[in-house]
Amino acid sequence: MNPIKQLLQHGQSVWLDFISRKMLMTDQLDRMIHEDGIRGLTSNPTIFEKAIANGSDYHESLIYLIDGHPEADAKAFYEALAVEDIQLACDALRHIYEDSSRIDGMVSLEVNPHAAHDTRATIHEARHLWKGIQRPNAMIKIPATPEGIPAIETCTGEGVNINATLIFSLEQYEQVAQAYVRGLAKAILPSHITSVASFFVSRIDTTIDAQLEKMDDPQAKALLGQIAVASCKVAYERFGKIFTDNEFATQSKRGARVQRLLFGSTSSKNPAYSDVKYVEQLIGPDTVNTMPPATVEAFNDHGKVRASLAEGLDKAHEQLRQLAEAGIDLGAVTDQLLQAGVASFADSYDKIIKALDHKHRVLLSGQVYR
């Protein structure tokens, strides 16, 4: 049994952090499901930018869309292409969704990142995409901004599967989990709702390490590459408390499931670190690790599996305390990462629209797009 399939024995599912039309139209995804043990799929505007804006994989679909709706704009074309990809992926993973009692087999699509700081716009976008995809194993990704938190609660209450994304801080995580529980209380069929809280990992170390490297204090230097995992361990501790308290217990009696903690951005950005660092150190029950294809390949090649997430909790608390003593404000760092994450996805979204607008004009002019 390969290491990724072994993770399932420890209560952790692996979702692929990637999507492309080529993967969906060939046997690539099916092979990753059956051979590698992939049990879900996530996407974001940056992933779609690479898939749609570059190359010609979507050329035929775009021509079909333009022929049928020549008056439509690039935003409508992007939504149609993205929704079609999500539907294809949902169909490929539907058997896992059903066999896992609606826990896995999920496929995520993000709302327009330009709505991230607008609660009403986010709710409208989430409803629109959920209705358009029409698959029970679809998930709508909502950034965990202050404006996104009430949208997560509202949409959960309406029965929408939510992937709360761009979580970098413990405070953000608690707000998301509590919003999910409040949403369940409003839901007619909470047993049909699946949700995850996506905690972004490697970017925390990238930013913190840059500050630690400037310090001469050996105790501070000892924290290099430690803070992201420490944050995840403490978040998992809080997950345990939130989903064993009385408020959630009331919803659990109605069939509600926990909102699993999902670890995203798990490819190592620092070449000095193991390429499976953010997988090996974050293994535990009721969790998901979403990996890009390279990390899937690396972990299946040399990953070591053990129940690591609950280990060293006291040490994790101590490391966060030492970071504060060193003068680094983790809250300020995570706020910065959230804003940068939203801006990065918005930039990718704009690049998709620009590329599709160009392709649209070229195709309408009768030129052959290459």
Known active-site residue 141: yes
Q: Is residue 69 part of a domain?
A: yes
For residue 250, pLDDT over 60 is answered with: yes
Q: What is the CATH number of the domain that holds 92?
A: 3.20.20.70
- Domain membership flag for residue 369: no
At residue 370, the pLDDT reads 44
Question: What is the span of the domain harbouring residue 315?
Answer: 3-364
If one counts the domains in the chain, the total is 1
**Residue reference for tokens 């150190």:** 281
Residue 198 placed within a domain: yes
The string of pLDDT tens digits covering residues 200-248 is 999 999 999 999 999 999 999 999 999 999 999 999 999 999 999 999 9
Asked if the structure places residue 114 within a domain, the reply is: yes
Percent of the chain scored above 70 by pLDDT?
99
Phi and psi, residue 79, nearest 5°: -60, -45
* Active-site position among 5, 50, 75, 141: 141
Question: Which residue intervals of the chain are DSSP H helices?
Answer: 3-9, 21-25, 28-31, 45-48, 59-68, 74-99, 119-133, 148-157, 170-186, 202-212, 218-221, 227-242, 246-252, 277-280, 293-302, 313-325, 330-364
Q: Is residue 158 part of a domain?
A: yes
For residue 370, being part of any structural domain is answered with no
Mean pLDDT, the chain, as a whole number? Answer: 95
Enumerate residues 6+ apart whose C-beta is below 8 A from 220.
212, 322, 326
What is the per-residue pLDDT for 367?
Answer: 52
